Structure 1
Amino acid sequence: MNDVKLKDLYMGLPDGEVEARDKRFQELFFDPNNKYNEIINSNEKFLIIGSKGTGKTYLSKYIVEQSPSKQTCIIVDPKNFWICKLINIDEQELTNDYISVLCKWFLLYEIANSLLNKHRWLKHLPRCKLNKLRKFMLEYNDDTFYKIVSLSTTNNQEITGNLSHGISHSDKLQTSNFQHSAGIKTSDGVSYESTRKRFFDLIDYFEQLVFDCFQINDHLLIILDDLDELKKEAGEQSENIIYNLITAAKKYNFYFNSRAKSLKIIMLLRSDILNKMQGNHPNLNKIKTSCSIDLYWLLDSTHDKWDHPLISMIFHKIRASCEPYKNRSNKELFEILFPESIDKKNPLDFLLDHSLGRPRDIVTFLNCAKKEFPERTCFSATVLKETRKIYATDFYNEMLNQASFYKSSAYSTQCLKLIAGIKRPSFSYSDIQTLYEENRTSYSEIDNLDDALHFLYELGAIGNAWKSKKGKHRTCWYYKIDAIDEVDLSQNFTIHYGLRKKFSL
């Protein structure tokens, strides 16, 4: 008889960063396709890509956990992307060259800061290169060095001023004091003076200084996490910043590796964002192919449902944390914990249908079941079916969060409201068009219905549905690797299972 209750099972947490704090983290970590070895043992690989919730942060925490004691590890949190704060997006038109140099400066700053923290005594020796680096950092470490130094109207009336290094906000700005200042005029009659030219002049010197200071016995790992968070600070410039960070990281990784120096910059990025960026930055496809690892969990590599990577991940964590199940095989655990089909559907397919193929979805669903039915000993058909109602709200909120990189919250909410208003799981284009036209005032954020459907398809909220020639029901979902890139407006649509209970379907 099985006496282990659901409340006694540990199946992971939706937030990989939080789970990484668990003292059992190394035992709990699961890597079915050896992505850790692929990123660490390859000099070319430095991009970890995957959909939101596929384990990018989780893998980066494991990389840090496994790093040698001699290696310095730095994880750059989105809050520390000071690169956005220096751009003054509303104050001037930014060129790609400016953003490129600023991204290089950002990475060089992280490398230089690490070197100076490590060599606390050497950096004070007069003839040491680190001393030159220390002095350079002291002189040009002020945020205002990068910013606009003067704003004035065409009639020379001063408006505001983000003053350059060494000048207080109360001092009256004299243009003649800034040998490297540059003037910019805009169509609205406002002219800017900035230290941009001086900034460009110094980047090559800063770069060479960092190169010279980094020695064979220096070991540094820099991880840039949650690059999609740049959208909140940098707005439409976020894609340019991400692209230039990627190209700068590629350059520095190659430079140090080719000289047998131990520096690696790893970047974490959502695959949907990277794919979108390729339209404006064609070279990204080469970088993606040669320099990235992709965390994709829906590869059809096994015929046995209990050996699917997502189920194997759950069982791995259960074995690592539950003594009675420690020596149980995947097949045995599947038969114990998932003993029943759900409306003629096997439990694995049921869980995958309610997910976007990500660990976060499966973990969230099963933890919801555990919370609602703590005394049960298995995930029966009743348990799984009843859990859908609670899980649907989490799934809906996660989808809105994912959409925030592309669209406003109001637009995303109205798009989801639109398909909820159809009141059935599947619908045709004419069905949704009629609903939209008859209720235009309720969907004021949606200017174009076709665009809204394309957006919902890319979000995973809807898929295409049809019958094959043999009469079998077929579906196509954007998040699957074999899916078409564009929604087919001539086909019927189906609403994702994860949303249906949220929409009372």
Structure 2
Amino acid sequence: MLSDHYFGDVEAIDEGRNHSSYFHKTFVLPNSFSISSLNNNRKFIVVGRKGAGKTAIQFHLASQLESSGYLTHFFSFYNDLKPTDYNQAAAGQKIDLLGFGNSSNIFLNYDFRDLWQRTFFIKMAETLRANDFESKFVRFALGDRSRLSSIFEGILRSATVKVTAEMKMISAEFDFDLSAFTNDGIPLSTFVHVCRELFLREHQDHRLYLFVDELVFSKLDAKDDEVRVRAAMVRDVFRTARDLNNFFVQNDLDVHVICSVRPEIRDLINDLDSEIGKIFDGKTVELSWDMREGDDSLLFLLLKQKVIHSKLGEVIDFSPFTDEVLNFGSNSVSLEDFIRTNTWSRPRDIVQLLNSIADKNQNSDRIGIEEIKSALNEYGRRSFVEIVEEISVRHGGMIALNLRKSVNQSHYREFSEFERKVLNVFSGIDRASLVEDLFQYGVIGNYDDRFSRRRYYWAHRGEEFFKKSLGVSIHKGLWNYFNIR
């Protein structure tokens, strides 16, 4: 029965940690990506769509590194930060975070770099201690923190850090006199400076990778002012990673800070602060999957691997277990063509499809056409939820409801028809920007009937621009969700 099979987790980190053997047996690396380029002196930012496999690639790299003697640590911006952490971070700013109102330039006055340097040094110290490497750097960085401490524990409203007597003794041994500071607090910048010097003096021989993942936020669950604060914090993660990587390279330390980000987050930050583009340019590895025409594309290979290894202790024979030709009425398509037209060329789409099939057909003993058909509504719902999360970063939470009400056909022969029937439902937002995001994140594409066989153009297949001169098509993976199949 399909209920006895495991087809992977939507969150790669869960799959990697809880089903390590399955993760490594089914891992597929895209042709566009070179893991060896991720280090402190070359590329340190992975850019890829939600579900493109950013976390999976970092987890795979971490496993390789650990087998070579490196220490590794994953820090999740989304999961590790709590609402109280934002308040503590805000307390250290010299501007009024609640009063930025109509000032368009206030974003540029945020500066969380010292905050993130402290956080990253603490994470490195925790990693060293967890691996039984004790040092004066570790004791200084961690102070009297407990395992239950929040991310920004110990930061005072005056942008200082609480210090213990032992921390003062350690710093004094290395000619850092902290006795001049009162109220047992030192400026964040001083704390970070001491951490740098202690790490440099005490950990020349340690090799470590710090992965900073899930640098995401959304207008779905936050007000505009909160979004800007979070955006500034994410921006400063990249500025801090650049500064620390430069420090490690210049001092010949085999220590690396690797970040991952989704393109819509990168673009929003670029819109708010154009200077951040200088960091992204030249330091980014783009993660994409080539779902080309023909046999044995990488995503189809991934699907096969997910099925073949889906039952513990067995190797599933793919062909009898899975229909490789699907009949939809009078139309027959190969399973690979179905994957090509009903996904967005992402590994997560494969996992979502297989899990939707298994959830809707728990008593079935194979994956056939009927099982696939019965799962398309659920698959479309899951896919749409993720796409809306990407689009909502710039356009807010009403996108889903308005699209569900207005999209009632699969193709619009002219853009003016799509504009009249769909876009006119939206008010108070930049419609040109919305159209671009609907295209980039896969709700719509172009089609052209001027050829013997209709041609489609999708962003996930390499098209850069939406063309208003062509017809508009709704992605097939969403037809069941919109009830237009």
Q: Which residue of structure 2 lines up, in the alignment, with residue 74 of structure 1?
A: 73
Q: Cα–Cα, structure 1 residues 71 and 272, in superposed 2: closer, same or farther, change >3 Å?
A: same
Letter in 1 for 2:29: P
- 1:108 and 1:210 in contact (8 A); partners too: no
Match of 1:32 in 2: 29
Question: In the superposition, relative to structure 1, how do residues 242 and 201 fare at CA in structure 2: closer, same or farther (>3 Å)?
Answer: closer
The C-alpha deviation readout for 1:155-176, integer Å capped at 9, x for no partner, is: xxxxxxxx9969xxxxxxxxxx
What are the Cα deviations for residues 18-60 of structure 1, in whole angstroms up to 9, with x where unaligned? Answer: 3221152454341234757425678523222211112222233
- Cα 1:130–1:425 shift into 2, 3 Å: closer
Q: Which moved more, 1:40-49 or 1:490-499?
A: 40-49
Q: Does 1:499 align with 2:485?
A: no
The question of whether the paired residues in 1 share the 8 Å contact of 2:46 and 2:286 is answered with yes
Change (3 A) 1:316 1:116: closer
Q: Secondary structure at the match of 1:493?
A: strand
Of 228, 236, 246, which residue of structure 2 is paired with 1:254?
Answer: 246
Structure 1 residue identity aligned to 2:446: N
Count of matched residue pairs: 439
1:436–1:393 distance in 2 versus 1, CA, 3 Å: closer
Corresponding residue of 2:305: 316
Q: Is the CA contact 1:133–1:210 (under 8 Å) kept in the aligned structure 2? A: no
Which residue in 1 is equivalent to 2:387? 399
1:458 maps to 2:458: no
Task: Describe how 1:204-243 pairs up with structure 2 within 5 A.
Answer: 205-206=193-194, 208-229=196-217, 234-243=226-235
* In 2: Cα distance, 1:164 partner to 1:38 partner: 37
Supply the AA of the counterpart residue of 2:71. Answer: T
The residue identity in structure 1 corresponding to 2:348 is R
- Alignment partner, residue 175 of structure 2: none
Structure 1 SS opposite 2:376: helix
Structure 2 Cα separation of the partners of residues 364 and 321 of structure 1: 14
Assess, with a 3 A threshold, how the Cα gap between structure 1 residues 269 and 45 changes in structure 2: closer, same or farther. Answer: same
> Is the 2:50–2:386 contact (alpha carbons within 8 Å) kept by the matching residues of 1?
no
What letter matches 1:459 in structure 2? Answer: Y
- Matched residue, 2:335: 347
Q: Does 2:463 align with 1:476?
A: no
Q: 1:368 maps to which residue?
A: 356
CA contact (8 A) 2:107 2:232 kept: no
SS at match of 2:356: helix
Task: Tell me which residue corresponds to 2:60.
Answer: 62
In 1, the alpha carbon distance for the partners of 2:269 and 2:320 equals 41
2:457 partner letter: C
Q: Secondary structure at the match of 1:337?
A: coil
Q: Greater Rg, structure 1 or structure 2?
A: 1
SS in 1 for 2:257: strand
What whole-Å deviation, never above 9, does each CA across 1:454-475 have from its counterpart, x for those lacking one? 332233211122223x343222
Alpha-carbon distance in structure 2 between the residues aligned to 1:245 and 1:91:
23
Deviation at 1:414, TM superposition (A): 3.9
Q: Supply the AA of the counterpart residue of 1:209.
A: E
Tell me the distance in 1 between the aligned counterparts of 2:152 and 2:364. 59
Tell me by how many angstroms 1:283 deviates. Answer: 6.2
Alignment CA distance shift 1:11-1:311 (3 Å): farther
Match of 2:113 among 87, 100, 123: 100
Whether 2:290 is the aligned partner of 1:298: answer yes
Asked if the contact 1:414/1:445 (under 8 Å) is kept, the reply is no
Structure 2 letter corresponding to 1:49: V
Find the aligned partners of 2:321 and 2:132 in 1 and give their Cα distance: 57
> How far has the Cα of 1:121 moved from its partner?
5.7
Change (3 A) 1:291 1:474: same
Residues 354/201 of structure 1: CA separation in 2 closer, same or farther (3 Å cut) = closer
Unpaired stretches in structure 1, ≥5 consecutive residues: 124-128, 150-162, 167-178, 182-195
Q: Does 1:49 align with 2:47?
A: yes
Shift of 1:95: 4.3
2:404 counterpart letter in structure 1? K
When the two structures are superposed, what TM-score results if normalisation uses the length of structure 2? 0.74
Among residues 74, 83, 86, which one is paired with 1:84 in the alignment?
A: 86
CA distance in 1 between counterparts of 2:138 and 2:353 reads 52
Identity %: 16
Q: Structure 1 residue 381: deviation in Å? A: 3.7
What is the identity, as a one-letter code, of the residue corresponding to 1:147?
R
**In 1, distance between residues paired with 2:307 and 2:60?**
19
Task: Give 1:417's aligned residue.
Answer: 404
SS in 1 for 2:258: strand
Counterpart of 1:245 in structure 2 is 237
Distance 1:252 1:42 in 2: 9
* 1:230–1:238 CA contact under 8 A, matched in 2: no
Indicate the residue corresponding to 2:172 in structure 1.
none
CA spacing shift, 1:446–1:338, aligned 2, 3 Å: farther
| Contact persistence 1:465–1:473 (CA under 8 A) | yes
CA–CA distance in 1 between the matches of 2:394 and 2:333?
A: 35
CA RMSD of aligned residues (A): 4.1
**What is the rounded CA distance, in whole Å, between the counterparts of 1:142 and 1:395 in structure 2?**
35
1:418 is displaced (CA, Å) by: 4.9
Q: State the distance in 2 between where 1:102 and 1:323 align.
A: 45
Q: Return the alpha-carbon distance in structure 2 between the equivalents of residues 338 and 258 of structure 1.
A: 54
- Which runs of 5 or more structure 2 residues have no equivalent in the other structure? 92-96, 101-105, 164-179
The answer as to whether partners of 1:403 and 1:459 remain within 8 angstroms in 2 is yes
What is the rounded CA distance, in whole Å, between the counterparts of 1:245 and 1:380 in structure 2? Answer: 46
1:193 matched residue in structure 2: none
Change (3 A) 1:112 1:364: closer
Letter in 1 for 2:14: V
- Kept in 2, the 8 Å contact 1:373–1:383? The answer is yes
Between stretches 113-122 and 271-280, larger displacement belongs to 113-122
TM normalised by structure 1 equals: 0.72
Correspondence for 1:147: 157
- Which amino acid in structure 2 is aligned with residue 400 of structure 1? V
Change (3 A) 1:317 1:347: closer
Cα 1:449/1:117, change in 2 over 3 Å: closer
User: Using the alignment, how far apart are the partners of 1:327 and 1:137 within structure 2?
Assistant: 49
**Maintained 8 Å contact 1:464/1:488:** yes
Residues 282 and 472 of structure 1: CA distance in aligned 2, closer, same or farther (over 3 Å): farther
The answer to which of 23-32 and 361-370 deviates more is: 23-32
8 Å contact from structure 2 (residues 45, 284) kept in 1: yes
CA distance in structure 2 between the partners assigned to 1:40 and 1:142 by the alignment: 28
